[in-house]
């Protein structure tokens, strides 16, 4: 069934665990995430980034409608989230397209401007009963930019600043920069667990980890146990899909039916989804 992101994140936080949110780009991604969640018997978030909307020729509704239809029929709870929104126009489409939550991303701006833009977005979101996540600090590697040095001073989220930001903006959750980076194709990120402990002590909202594709299983489990309540995974699905299709086409140079390779791509993504969900489930303190 279709549920809200707020309830999934709240429930995960109460269990000292994390809900996984997967970025969807095609119908195959939608079906794979739902199938993987069903096989792991875990709730999941389907998220559409502003980037993905751009790829879909600027149109949100076709993918959103497909995601909502898949969520409604799913055997596990599924929520819809709009990810990395920078455009106010896209933000305003969220409720009508079936999303219960948004991540408003003004993290590229200096602190005061990030706060002002995020506070306005949060006021609007709450007036429409949307749950809203924002980002402070900089999780690098967005929009095909060279990955930021995640260890550079200034890139990490400062706990005192984060506390002031959350209080003043009124957001429901905060994406924090603790060493992960977007679009990593190797799982080699090292997280700053001491900083995570300080952040979760300083803040009373759930914390979100972006760029989770580059985070090894053990690090991901430790983050979930240490205060991260939502983990965002995108690139790992594309690695799985593209790798499986590449292998299939190399082995079947005569193939022409797109359903054959889309099938193997979808199955590979579903296995990746189930794998992440099992790691998070296993990380729960008993």
Please enumerate, by residue number, every residue annotated as part of a binding site: 84, 105, 135, 182, 210
Our finding on whether 210 is near Zn ion (CB under 5 A) is yes
Residue (36 or 256) nearer to ligand G3H, CB: 36
Give, as ranges, the residues between 146 and 205 that touch ligand G3H (CB under 6 A). 182-184
* Single residue of 213, 221, 266, 277 touching ligand G3H by CB under 6 A: 213
> Would you give the binding string for Zn ion spanning residues 153-192, x where CB under 5 A is met?
----------------------------------------
Query: From the CB of 73, what's the least distance to ligand G3H, in Å?
Result: 25
d(CA 1, CA 267): 22
Residue (100 or 232) nearer to Zn ion, CB: 232
Query: Is 83 designated active site?
Result: yes
Residue (86 or 260) nearer to ligand G3H, CB: 86
Half-sphere exposure of 238 (CA within 13 A, CB side): 15
Our finding on whether 81 is near ligand G3H (CB under 6 A) is no
Our finding on whether 23 is near ligand G3H (CB under 6 A) is yes
Residue (107 or 168) nearer to ligand G3H, CB: 107
d(CA 56, CA 51): 9
Residue 138: partners with Cβ closer than 8 Å, 6 or more residues away: 107, 108, 148, 154, 155, 177
Q: How many residues bind ligand G3H (CB under 6 A)?
A: 16
User: 213 is in the binding site of which of Zn ion, ligand G3H, none (Cβ under 5 to 8 A by kind)?
Assistant: ligand G3H
Q: Which of 41, 83, 160, 217 is catalytic?
A: 83
d(CA 90, CA 195): 33
Query: From the CB of 86, what's the least distance to ligand G3H, in Å?
Result: 13
Half-sphere exposure of 15 (CA within 13 A, CB side): 16
Query: From the CB of 234, what's the least distance to ligand G3H, in Å?
Result: 3
Which residues carry out catalysis?
Answer: 83
Query: Which residues in this chain contact ligand G3H in the complex, by CB under 6 A?
Result: 23, 83-84, 182-184, 210-214, 232-236
């Amino acid at each position: 069934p279709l549920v809200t992101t707020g309830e999934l994140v709240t429930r995960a936080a109460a269990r000292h665990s994390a809900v996984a949110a997967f970025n969807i780009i095609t119908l195959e991604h939608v079906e794979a995430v739902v199938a993987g969640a069903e096989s792991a018997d875990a709730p999941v978030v389907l998220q559409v980034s502003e980037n993905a909307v751009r790829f879909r020729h600027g149109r949100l509704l076709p993918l959103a409608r497909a995601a909502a239809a898949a969520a409604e029929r799913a055997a596990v709870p599924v929520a819809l989230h709009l990810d990395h929104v920078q455009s106010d126009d896209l933000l305003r489409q969220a409720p009508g397209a079936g999303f219960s939550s948004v991540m408003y991303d003004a993290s590229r701006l200096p602190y005061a401007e990030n706060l002002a833009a995020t506070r306005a977005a949060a006021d609007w979101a709450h007036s429409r009963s949307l749950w809203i996540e924002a980002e402070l600090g900089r999780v690098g590697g967005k929009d095909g930019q060279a990955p930021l040095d995640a260890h550079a001073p200034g890139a990490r989220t400062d706990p005192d600043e984060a506390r002031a930001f959350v209080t003043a903006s009124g957001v429901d959750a905060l994406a924090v920069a603790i060493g992960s980076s977007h679009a990593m194709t190797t799982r080699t990120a090292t997280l700053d667990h001491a900083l995570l402990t300080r952040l979760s002590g300083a803040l009373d909202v759930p914390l979100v980890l972006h760029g989770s594709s580059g985070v090894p299983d053990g690090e991901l489990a430790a983050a979930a146990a240490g205060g991260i309540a939502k983990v965002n995974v995108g690139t790992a699905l594309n690695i799985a899909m593209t790798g499986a299709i590449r292998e299939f086409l190399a082995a079947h140079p005569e193939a022409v039916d797109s359903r054959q390779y889309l099938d193997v791509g979808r199955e590979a993504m579903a296995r990746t989804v189930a794998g992440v969900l099992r790691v998070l489930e296993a990380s729960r303190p008993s």
